[in-house]
Amino acid sequence: MTTPSTSAVTFSRIPPRRSTTRAATWWGRAWVRAVEEASYSDSDLHAARALSRSGAIGGITLDRGEVVAACYDRADVWSVSATVPELDPISRRAFVEVVAGESGHLAALVAGDLPYRLVEQAEEAGVELLPYGGELGASCPCGSWVDPCVHALAVMLQVAWLVDGDPWVLLRLRGLAPDELQAQLATVRDAGAAEHDTDLEAAMDAAVRAARVLALADDPGAEIGHLL
Confidence label for 214 from pLDDT (cuts 50, 70 and 90): low
Per residue in 2-16, pLDDT (tens digit) is 455 567 899 999 999
Q: Quick check: helix, strand or coil at residue 69?
A: strand
Domain ranges of the chain: 9-85+131-176, 186-227
Q: Strands, DSSP E only, in the chain? A: 9-11, 60-63, 66-73, 76-83, 137-139
Give the pLDDT band (50/70/90) at residue 199: very low
Say what percent of the chain tops pLDDT 70. 79
Side chain identity, residue 3: T
Out of 49-53, 70-74, 195-199, 219-223, least confident range? 195-199
Pairing status of strand 9-11 against strand 76-83: unpaired
More confident residue, 190 or 145: 145
- The answer to whether 53 and 20 have CB atoms below 8 angstroms apart is yes
What is the distance between the alpha carbons of residues 97 and 95, in angstroms, rounded to a whole number?
Answer: 5
N residues, the chain: 228
At residue 208, the pLDDT reads 46
Cβ contact 95:15 at 8 Å: no
Q: Which residues are paired to 68 by β-bridges?
A: 61, 81
Average pLDDT of the residues in 131-138: 94
